[in-house]
Chain A
């Protein structure tokens, strides 16, 4: 389990983390999402033991991770700016990784030569951005970590490669119970792979829940009312958003689909339909309440 408890980190007066709390359960895939500058990468650098929090705790399996080689050995990470030596080839970096990770799986490294079509002798610096990312995955997945920490991992990968790396990671999750923490803006993709989601904003974690919970407790309703009838919704409903096109009203309401529908039926709609929300929609509406929304600017 990875736990971040009330972590605060200040950079020259700017509170990058402002009491962040994160719990990543074992064997799960945790998606960390949030607007730019929310503190996702800062949290990840704390979890990988690069930063020391000003206050609060960052624990891996109950032990602080900062300056703690035993806990760091359990983790492998792909940061958004992957580091490699200036003139190193993939094979050189493999020897470097193998030196740090006693469990480095050389047999797997050999098998992955077919998966990642990168010449082992190629100088990493000369590879394209996407191929460098592939090289990072190649080496990191061979470390056989208990915790895999990924910051914007599939950024720059082509669609086939994205699926390929997710497929490898998901089979590791199923077979070895690997725990994955992943930050990404690709919510469509996260929806397939995550079972837990944390939404960050301004250095805090606003919501942290299982994806099922999140999707079952917010619902999109489409309703059509009789002409000329101004719909008044029951007060006890927590409505996050209302919009309408003609007579078709769309409501975003907190609660279970069945309960919310039962509450609205007595109001006599001509048509009422409950639809599940995508993670992308949940993200937009949850952050909308935090004064972070798409501004309608016409240029």
Chain B
């Protein structure tokens, strides 16, 4: 799954971290897909399990993977976090709709409104 380059100046934990990140970003590891366990990775690459744990911990704090105690590590954010993101998005859109309605009531034209939106997007 990963190949380590021993001549690279990048430390091994960094190579593991970036290698997995690449697999996740490109979709080779789909969200929710299980990552190899620290133990099996240590055995297959013949490197210190603590090194792999360090890479996993950093990937988790960067939000690329999540771990479920007793089950292992999985690609992508946790399902409940992803759900929360969706809820927040819905709440924000609802707020926007209310604002638009209020601005309409104050006779703001569509062109003026679009200008504001475009200005925000271009920022």
Contacts and interface: CB of A to CB of B under 8 A. Distances in A.
Contacts of A191: 12
B6 A174 contact: no
A28 B50 contact: yes
Interface stretch (B35-43, B79-87, B89-97, B98-106): B35-43
Contact of B46 (A163, A215, A275, A276): A163
Interface residues of B, number: 19
Interface residues of A, number: 22
Interface in A152-192: 163, 166-168, 170-171, 173-175, 188, 191-192
B46 A167 contact: yes
Contacts of B44: 167
A170 B48 CA distance: 6
Contacts of A28: 50
B15 to A, nearest CB: 11
A192 B42 contact: no
B47 A275 contact: no
A192 B42 CA distance: 10
In the complex, the 8 A-B pairs of residues with the closest C-beta atoms, listed nearest first: A174-B49, A171-B43, A174-B39, A166-B46, A170-B42, A192-B47, A167-B46, A167-B43
Contacts of A20: none
B9 interface: yes
Nearest to B14: A276
Nearest to B52: A174
Contact of A192 (B9, B38, B43, B46): B46
Contact of A29 (B9, B11, B39, B48): B48
B48 A195 contact: yes
A194 B9 CA distance: 17
Given A167-B43, A168-B43, A173 B48 contact: yes
A194 B11 contact: no
Nearest to A175: B39
Nearest to B37: A174
A193 interface: yes
A268 B7 CA distance: 30
For chain A, what secondary structure do more than half of its interface residues adopt (helix, strand, loop), or is it mixed? helix
Contact of B48 (A193, A215, A275): A193
Contacts of A194: 48
Interface string B34-71: 00001110111111111100100000000000000000
A174 B42 CA distance: 7
Contacts of B12: 191-192
Contacts of B11: 215, 276
Query: Which of A163, A170, A173 has most chain B Cβ within 10 Å?
Result: A170
A193 B47 contact: yes
Query: Which of A163, A166, A171, A275 has most chain B Cβ within 10 Å?
Result: A171
Contacts of B43: 167-168, 170-171, 174
A191 B47 CA distance: 9
Contact of A195 (B39, B40, B46, B51): B51
Contacts of A166: 46
Given A175-B39, A191-B12, A195-B51, A170 B46 contact: yes
A231 to B, nearest CB: 23
Contacts of A188: 6
14 contacts: A167-B42, A167-B44, A168-B43, A170-B43, A170-B46, A170-B49, A192-B48, A193-B46, A193-B47, A193-B48, A194-B48, A195-B48, A212-B54, A276-B11
Nearest to B41: A174
Contacts of A29: 48, 50
A174 B47 contact: no
Query: Which of A175, A188, A215 has most chain B Cβ within 10 Å?
Result: A175
